Structure 1
Amino acid sequence: MAEIRVDNVQKSFGSFTAVKGSTFTIEDGEFFVMLGPSGCGKTTTLRMIAGLELPTSGQILLGGEDVTFNRAAARDIAFVFQMFALYPHMNVRNNIGFPLKCQGMARGEIRQRVEEAAKLLRIDHLLDRAVSGLAGGDRQRVALGRAIVRRPKAFLMDEPLGTLDTEFRDLMVRELRELHNRIDATTVYVTHDQLEAMAMADKIAVMNHGTIEQFGKPQDIYDRPASMFVADFIGSPPMNFLNFHGGLRSGDRAVRLNGAEIAVPEIHTDRAPGPFALGVRPEHIVFDDRSNLRGSVFGSAYLGTTQIIAVDTAHGQIKARLPSDRIVHPGETVGLAFRPERLSLFDTVSGQALPSALYQGAPHG
Structure 2
Amino acid sequence: MAQIKVESVAKTFGTFAAVKGVNFTVDHGSFLVILGPSGCGKTTTLRMIAGLELPSSGRILLDGEDVTALPASARDISFVFQLFALYPHMNVRQNIGFPLRCQNYARAEIRRSVEETAKLLRIDHLLERRIGGLSGGDRQRVALGRAIVRRPKAFLMDEPLGALDSEFRRLMCGELRELHDRIDATTIYITHDQLEAMAMADRIVIMNQGRVEQIGTPQEIYDRPNTMFVADFIGAPPMSFLGVQTSLRRGDRSIRIDAAAVEMPELFENRAEGKFALGVRPENVSFADSSPLRGRVIGAEYLGTTQIVTVDTAHGRVKARLPSGQAVRVGEQVGLALRPDRLSLFDAISGQALSSALHTGGVRG
Match of 1:58, SS state, is strand
Deviations 1:71-102 (A, max 9, x none): 10110100000000000000000000000000
Match of 2:129, SS state, is coil
The answer to whether the 8 Å contact 1:267/1:357 transfers is no
Match of 1:295, SS state, is strand
- Distance in 1 (alpha carbons) for counterparts of 2:166 and 2:222: 23
Match of 1:354, SS state, is strand
- Aligned letter for 1:320? A
Deviations 1:221-262 (A, max 9, x none): 000000000000000000000010111111000001122110
TM-score (structure 1 length as normaliser) = 0.98
- Aligned letter for 2:20? K
Which residue of structure 1 aligns with residue 16 of structure 2? 16
Q: Does 1:264 align with 2:264?
A: yes
The answer to whether the 8 Å contact 1:29/1:187 transfers is yes
The answer to whether the 8 Å contact 2:354/2:364 transfers is no
Which residue of structure 1 aligns with residue 49 of structure 2? 49
The answer to whether the 8 Å contact 2:78/2:155 transfers is yes
The answer to whether the 8 Å contact 2:342/2:356 transfers is no
- Distance in 2 (alpha carbons) for counterparts of 1:336 and 1:311: 9
Question: RMSD between aligned alpha carbons?
Answer: 1.1
Which residue of structure 2 aligns with residue 291 of structure 1? 291
Cα deviation, residue 162, structure 1 = 0.5
Q: 1:26 to 1:363 in 2, by over 3 A?
A: farther
The answer to whether the 8 Å contact 2:86/2:95 transfers is yes
- Aligned letter for 1:203? R
Which residue of structure 1 aligns with residue 148 of structure 2? 148
Which residue of structure 2 aligns with residue 229 of structure 1? 229
Structure 1 unaligned segments of length 5 or more: list them: none
Equivalent positions of 1:69-88 (< 5 A) are: 69-88=69-88
Q: 1:126 to 1:157 in 2, by over 3 A?
A: same
- Distance in 2 (alpha carbons) for counterparts of 1:255 and 1:242: 11
Which residue of structure 2 aligns with residue 33 of structure 1? 33
- Distance in 1 (alpha carbons) for counterparts of 2:336 and 2:289: 8
User: % of aligned pairs identical?
Assistant: 70
- Distance in 1 (alpha carbons) for counterparts of 2:67 and 2:248: 47
Q: How many residues align?
A: 364
- Distance in 1 (alpha carbons) for counterparts of 2:121 and 2:326: 45
Which residue of structure 1 aligns with residue 337 of structure 2? 337
Cα deviation, residue 104, structure 1 = 0.3
Q: Does 1:89 align with 2:67?
A: no
- Distance in 2 (alpha carbons) for counterparts of 1:140 and 1:251: 54
- Aligned letter for 2:258? N
Cα deviation, residue 305, structure 1 = 1.3
The answer to whether the 8 Å contact 2:22/2:212 transfers is yes
Equivalent positions of 1:2-13 (< 5 A) are: 2-13=2-13
Which residue of structure 1 aligns with residue 170 of structure 2? 170
Deviations 1:300-347 (A, max 9, x none): 111111110011111222110011111111111110010101000101
- Distance in 2 (alpha carbons) for counterparts of 1:114 and 1:363: 49
- Aligned letter for 1:142? V
Q: 1:47 to 1:160 in 2, by over 3 A?
A: same
- Distance in 1 (alpha carbons) for counterparts of 2:146 and 2:86: 9
Deviations 1:36-93 (A, max 9, x none): 0000000000000000001000010001110011110110100000000000000000
- Distance in 2 (alpha carbons) for counterparts of 1:32 and 1:347: 29
- Distance in 2 (alpha carbons) for counterparts of 1:23 and 1:285: 36
Match of 2:168, SS state, is helix
The answer to whether the 8 Å contact 2:353/2:364 transfers is no
Cα deviation, residue 185, structure 1 = 0.1
The answer to whether the 8 Å contact 2:35/2:42 transfers is yes
Structure 2 unaligned segments of length 5 or more: list them: none
Equivalent positions of 1:93-172 (< 5 A) are: 93-172=93-172
Match of 1:286, SS state, is strand
